[in-house]
Structure 1
Amino acid sequence: MKYNHLFEKGRIGKLRIKNRIVMPAIGVSLAKSTGEASDELIAYYEERAKGGCGLIITEITRIDDEYGVGTSNQLSVTSSKHIPRLERLVKTIHKYDSKIFVQLHHPGRQTHSQLIGGKQVVAPSAIMCQKTKEMPRALTTEEVEGLVKKFVIGAKIAQTAGVDGVEIHGAHGYLINQFMSSYSNKRTDKYGGSFVNRMRFITEIILGIKHICGKDFPVSVRIDGDEFLEGGYKIDQGKKIAVYLESIGVDAINVSNGTYESGITIVEPISYPQGWKKHLAKTIKDAVKIPVIAVDVIRKPSFAEQLLDEGVQDFVAIGRGQLADSEWANKAFLGKEEDIRPCISCLHCFEELESGRMIKCAVNPKTSRELEFKEIEKSGDNRVVAIVGGGPAGMEAARVLALRGFKAVIFEKENELGGMLQYGNKPPKKEKITWLIDNMHHQIKELGVDIRLNTEATVEEIRKLDPYAVFVAAGAAPTVPPIPGVDNDNVYTIIDILGGKVSLKDKNIAVIGSGLTGLETAEYLGENGNKITVVEMLSEIGKGTNPSNLFDVMSRLKQFNTELIPNHRLMKINSNSITLMDTRSQKYTNKEVDAVVLSLGVSPRENMVKEIEDNFGVVRVIGDVNEAGRIAQATREGFEKAFVL
């Protein structure tokens, strides 16, 4: 595809940017605990600059050590000691003709007291965030004035290190957003009340930066186009804020949306389509003359081009897409769109961050480990490696082995690659899983991997290859509990349902197990006109599932009037009913159903592993056959074991 806009040069203020691709700020927790840029952080950003990104905006960068800590390993510009390492980061990015902004940040009430030495969190007003659930204290007027100076000092430190500009984080419910929004700002001093007063905090910051750093030093502001909160501001207020910011000298507006309390709209799960919120950026772009950057769940270069062509925005912000593939921009430029490893919006990256760990990507094991996997050793010497199973673990192992010069041979007993992904892509709104299957298949095909479909990997077949090593990635089998009636004709596994072996319509169905797979299978069955009951032994439906993914699928299950029964164990399956035991009272009840679908996890194929280990010397066990896991675990194990073979 020809891109008329995506690779055009652009400007923010007087700064020229080589294309329209921006890496927006994403927390990574890779900095040193002192706030300095670590070698790992530099390598992480270098990969995206090397990959062709025009402008990189750093993760949330601390301007206040006392109350402004967002993560424990957060980039910081609170002291001159941060300048040398930040300068090294800047010079590394500049090698690739990419530009870099530092995003200046203060979390306000959206942090935790444990991150700030046990002190009470602060905010414009003493109003609790319903996500963090810590009551803040209201900042004094003098404290607000002091924070203005800290933002300006942070900008000057960044400028001294050579950064090309700064972005002020005024979105996502953080401190500046808290001041701008009447939802969270109930102050009666000069920083609260009227629109002008609510904007005073950010106004003083911007004017201070322009005064200290010079009027030509670019300043972008990230704002919410819509807070997506009841009582929060909507797009008309977002537009008003953008117009005001332009009037006081801001050089670009970066349009986002949402707060922690409406977080599913900030970091969208898999069901949200590309461009679902593009109206926010378009409304603001039509109202201002300065450049507009925006995140719009952009996954494909063709869609990014479409947004630019439609005048929705001036720069496309691609965050998770460049976690999934650091070469996103270069591959698009070279017309290798099929080779771009797609972000599937699985939220693994943010699960890791919220757990206090460094950022990771389910489909790109190199993310945050760029130093560790800097060079692929090409020492395969065309030696044969047999791979049993063509799921994500097997395909990723094959890709890396081929890059290393091994002759990879995949045995896949089904008629297509993908393994469990071929079931995971069947529920509604899961087409991004198909994107991943297609990409992985394309990559190993391009690398010349020998793919043998409809072929059982017996010891005899593998032995014919005289392999140097065997990778066992044969997946796992659905768990079927030993209960009365489990062999009845009306009992199915999720494989039967999602694999298309059975089609159920207009039935009364019990889905046993409320993990994400069970809930998505319930949704799939609901779409086919069935009445659904979900039975869960634990006290919570979807326990352990990412909250955003759970909220997303549960909101759609409601439209099917799905009945949810937690605290109940399946005891017996009858011809037209099931017997359940209440795990609290131990009482038994019968419930009429036409069919039962088991979603109770999977069991590794241990017998296969033992047989292969007994017959071959070098054996690596990866994916579900090793231990039941998710896409992230499968791709990581496939990558790691192939990398060090």
Structure 2
Amino acid sequence: MKYEKLFAAGRIGRLELRNRIVMPAMGTSLAAASGEASDEMIAYYEERAAGGCGLIITEITRVDNETGVGTPNQLNASDLLYVPRLEKLARAVHRHDSRIFLQLQHPGRQNHGRLIGGKQIVAPSAVMSSAIGEMPRELTTEEVEALVGKFVFGAYIAQLAGIDGVEIHGAHGYLIGQFLSPLTNLRTDKYGGSLEGRMRFLCEIVQGIKKTCGAGFPVSVRIDGDEFVPGGITLEEALLTALQLEKLGVDCINVSAGTYESSNTIIEPISYPQGWKKHLAAAMKQAVQIPVIACDVIRKPDFAECLLEEGNTDFVALGRALLADPQWGNKAAEGREAEIRTCISCLYCIQEVMECKVIKCAVNARVGRELEFPEPQQNGDGRVVAVVGGGPAGMEAARVLAERKFKPVLFEARDVLGGSVELGSRPPLKEKLNWFLDSMEHQLEQLHVDVRLSEKPTLEQLRELDPYAVFVAAGAQPIIPAIPGVTGDNVCTVVDVLSGAAVIRDKRVVVIGSGMTGLETAEYLAEQGNQVTVVEMQPRIGPDAYLPNLIDIVTRLKKNGVQLLASTKLVEVREGTVVLENVSTGDISVQDTDAVVLSIGVSPERGFVNELKRVMPQVKVLGDAAKPGRIGQAIQSGFETAYVLK
């Protein structure tokens, strides 16, 4: 398919862009501790520029070191000392005919005192964010005026460094958005009250940048089309804000949504479909004449093209899609869409950054590590490597081995590839996992990997291959606890349910374990007409789940009538009932049930590995077979082990 709109040149102000693909700001924690653009950060952005991105907008960039520290390792534009490294970043992007904006930001009340030396966080007004739990102090009028100057100076630094423009972050509930919102701005000075007053802080920043950097220096403003918070910014008010910004000479509006209190509308979990909030950008484009950028959970090139054809937006912001595959643009332009490694919206990337670690991607082990893992050496010399297990770790290992010119032979006991990821794609709203698996399978086909389905190799078969190495990625087995009655016919595992080995419909079902697998299986069972109860020993449901993912699925489970019992232990399984114990009180209860589904984790099998190690020269253990974990750990295990094989 030809994507004529997607790859048409575009303009933001006087700046011409080679296509309509924008990489929006995403936190990375890749900056040096000093706040300078590190070599790792430069390599990360350069790879996306080389991959076909027209415009890159950097992560949130600090303009104020006193109250505006957003992350520990954050890009900084508060002092002239940051110019040389920013200039190096700009040159790296420019040599691939891409352009770059610096996004200037202050977190305001969406921050923690520990990041600013224990001082109290600040905001337009003393209104606490329920997502943060720290009461901010109200900025004085003089402090607000000083912050205007700091934003302007940040833009000046960007211009000095040869950066092509700046984006002012007025969305996602950060400081500027807090001034714009009637929910968080209760001020009575010139920076509060009516929309005009609430906009004054932002307007003075824009005016200051235009005066200092010149009218031709592009300025984008990112605003929320809707905060999705009661009493917050609505689309109607966002349109009025955009119209006023256009009059001030802003060159572009970047439309987003949400605050930390509605975080799933900013960085959406897997259940959100492509384009769920496209009405926000569409309304904005109808209201203003300047270009509009929209971030609409875009994963596929054909969907991006449709948005442009429909006139919903002028530029498509791909976000996490470019973490998963930095070559997204080039592959789409060259008709290689099937090769695009699709983002699965698992939130692994943001979870890592929010935990003060560098950015990672579940399906791309090289994110942020481009310097650590340049293109691998092609020195396999056709040597055979047996890969046992066709889950994510095994598939990734086979892919990298093939690229290195080894000859991988991939064995999978089931009749499909994908392992636990394929099973995990079966609950409702998990289709993005299939997109990822489809791209992985396509890559293996392109690399002519010998894939042997429905085949669990014996030791003798592996000996006949005479492999240079054996990679064991055969996953792990469900844990079966030593509980009376657990071996009965009315007990099965989540693997049995999701594989179709156990079909349960219109029954009373108790799911034991509330990890994400247990919760997703509970939703799957509820959609089969079952009456479902989830039992969890820990004090809260989903004890190890990332909170946004947990909120997403628990909201749906409650709508489906699923009962969630925390601090509850399975004591015994009987015919037609289960015996449960409240671990806090010791109280015993009996609940009627037709089926029990176990989801209490998995354990690696060591026997086969130990046998192999006795007779094979090199045995590598990957993924769940080494240590049970998430997709990200499995992909990383497969990638790194295959990359370093000598």
Q: Specify the SS of the correspondent of 1:119.
A: coil
Q: For the Cα contact (< 8 Å) 2:180–2:233, is it kept in 1?
A: no
Question: What residue identity is the alignment partner of 2:290?
Answer: I
Asked if 1:520 is matched to 2:520, the reply is yes
Q: Specify the SS of the correspondent of 1:97.
A: coil
Q: 2:67, 2:453 → 1: CA distance?
A: 58
Q: Specify the SS of the correspondent of 1:133.
A: coil
Question: What residue identity is the alignment partner of 2:545?
Answer: T
Q: Report what 1:184 is aligned to.
A: 184
Q: 1:205, 1:521 → 2: CA distance?
A: 50
Q: For the Cα contact (< 8 Å) 1:496–1:502, is it kept in 2?
A: yes
Q: Deviations over 1:442-462 (max 9, x none)?
A: 101110110011111211111
Q: 1:164, 1:136 → 2: CA distance?
A: 34
Q: For the Cα contact (< 8 Å) 1:339–1:442, is it kept in 2?
A: yes
Q: 2:605, 2:399 → 1: CA distance?
A: 23
Q: Report what 2:502 is aligned to.
A: 502
Q: Deviations over 1:173-232 (max 9, x none)?
A: 000000011110000000000111111001110010000000000000000000000111
Q: Specify the SS of the correspondent of 2:600.
A: coil
Deviation at 1:477, TM superposition (A): 0.8
Q: 2:87, 2:158 → 1: CA distance?
A: 8
Q: 1:32, 1:392 → 2: CA distance?
A: 32
Deviation at 1:4, TM superposition (A): 1.5
Q: Report what 1:540 is aligned to.
A: 540
Q: Report what 1:130 is aligned to.
A: 130
Q: 1:610, 1:539 → 2: CA distance?
A: 38
> What are the ranges of 5 or more consecutive residues in structure 2 without an aligned counterpart?
none
Q: 2:222, 2:128 → 1: CA distance?
A: 23
Q: For the Cα contact (< 8 Å) 1:532–1:560, is it kept in 2?
A: no
TM norm structure 1: 0.99
Q: For the Cα contact (< 8 Å) 2:100–2:163, is it kept in 1?
A: yes
Q: Report what 1:113 is aligned to.
A: 113
Greater Cα shift, 98-107 or 433-442:
433-442
Q: Report what 2:85 is aligned to.
A: 85
Superposition map of 1:468-487 within 5 A: 468-487=468-487
Q: Report what 2:426 is aligned to.
A: 426
Q: 1:118, 1:581 → 2: CA distance?
A: 43
Question: What residue identity is the alignment partner of 1:454?
Answer: S
Determine what percentage of the aligned residue pairs are the same residue. 59
Q: 2:491, 2:61 → 1: CA distance?
A: 54
Q: Report what 1:462 is aligned to.
A: 462
Q: 2:27, 2:210 → 1: CA distance?
A: 26
Q: Specify the SS of the correspondent of 2:385.
A: strand
Count of aligned residue pairs for this structure pair: 645
Q: Specify the SS of the correspondent of 1:509.
A: strand
Q: 1:484, 1:194 → 2: CA distance?
A: 67
Asked if 1:334 is matched to 2:317, the reply is no
Q: Report what 1:204 is aligned to.
A: 204
Q: 2:367, 2:209 → 1: CA distance?
A: 33
Q: For the Cα contact (< 8 Å) 1:507–1:595, is it kept in 2?
A: yes
Question: What residue identity is the alignment partner of 1:504?
Answer: I
Q: 1:529, 1:573 → 2: CA distance?
A: 22
Question: What residue identity is the alignment partner of 2:302?
Answer: S
Deviation at 1:374, TM superposition (A): 1.2
Question: What residue identity is the alignment partner of 1:303?
Answer: F
Q: 1:375, 1:409 → 2: CA distance?
A: 22
Q: Report what 2:10 is aligned to.
A: 10
Asked if 1:161 is matched to 2:161, the reply is yes
Asked if 1:640 is matched to 2:627, the reply is no
Deviation at 1:582, TM superposition (A): 1.7
Superposition map of 1:117-516 within 5 A: 117-516=117-516
Q: For the Cα contact (< 8 Å) 1:220–1:254, is it kept in 2?
A: yes
Superposition map of 1:13-92 within 5 A: 13-92=13-92
Q: 2:57, 2:559 → 1: CA distance?
A: 40
Q: For the Cα contact (< 8 Å) 2:571–2:581, is it kept in 1?
A: yes
Q: Deviations over 1:500-550 (max 9, x none)?
A: 112211111000001110011000000011101111111111111011111
Question: What residue identity is the alignment partner of 1:642?
Answer: A
Deviation at 1:607, TM superposition (A): 1.1
Q: 1:355, 1:172 → 2: CA distance?
A: 19
TM norm structure 2: 0.99
Q: Specify the SS of the correspondent of 1:420.
A: helix
Q: 1:605, 1:337 → 2: CA distance?
A: 38
Deviation at 1:586, TM superposition (A): 2.2
Question: What residue identity is the alignment partner of 2:133?
Answer: K
Question: What residue identity is the alignment partner of 1:532?
Answer: V
Q: Specify the SS of the correspondent of 1:393.
A: helix
Q: 1:479, 1:335 → 2: CA distance?
A: 45
Q: For the Cα contact (< 8 Å) 2:514–2:536, is it kept in 1?
A: yes
Question: What residue identity is the alignment partner of 1:431?
Answer: E
Deviation at 1:482, TM superposition (A): 1.6
Deviation at 1:136, TM superposition (A): 0.6
Q: Report what 1:101 is aligned to.
A: 101
> What are the ranges of 5 or more consecutive residues in structure 1 without an aligned counterpart?
none
Question: What residue identity is the alignment partner of 1:416?
Answer: V
Q: Specify the SS of the correspondent of 1:286.
A: helix
Greater Cα shift, 381-390 or 609-618:
609-618
Q: Report what 2:591 is aligned to.
A: 591
Question: What residue identity is the alignment partner of 2:338?
Answer: E
Q: 1:206, 1:233 → 2: CA distance?
A: 20
Question: What residue identity is the alignment partner of 1:283?
Answer: A
Q: Specify the SS of the correspondent of 2:148.
A: helix
Q: Deviations over 1:234-274 (max 9, x none)?
A: 11111111111101110000000000111011000000000
Q: 2:5, 2:613 → 1: CA distance?
A: 54
Q: For the Cα contact (< 8 Å) 1:531–1:560, is it kept in 2?
A: no
Question: What residue identity is the alignment partner of 1:332?
Answer: A
Q: For the Cα contact (< 8 Å) 1:172–1:266, is it kept in 2?
A: yes
Question: What residue identity is the alignment partner of 1:34?
Answer: S
Q: 2:291, 2:52 → 1: CA distance?
A: 20
CA RMSD of aligned residues (A): 0.7
Q: For the Cα contact (< 8 Å) 1:331–1:339, is it kept in 2?
A: yes
Deviation at 1:560, TM superposition (A): 2.0
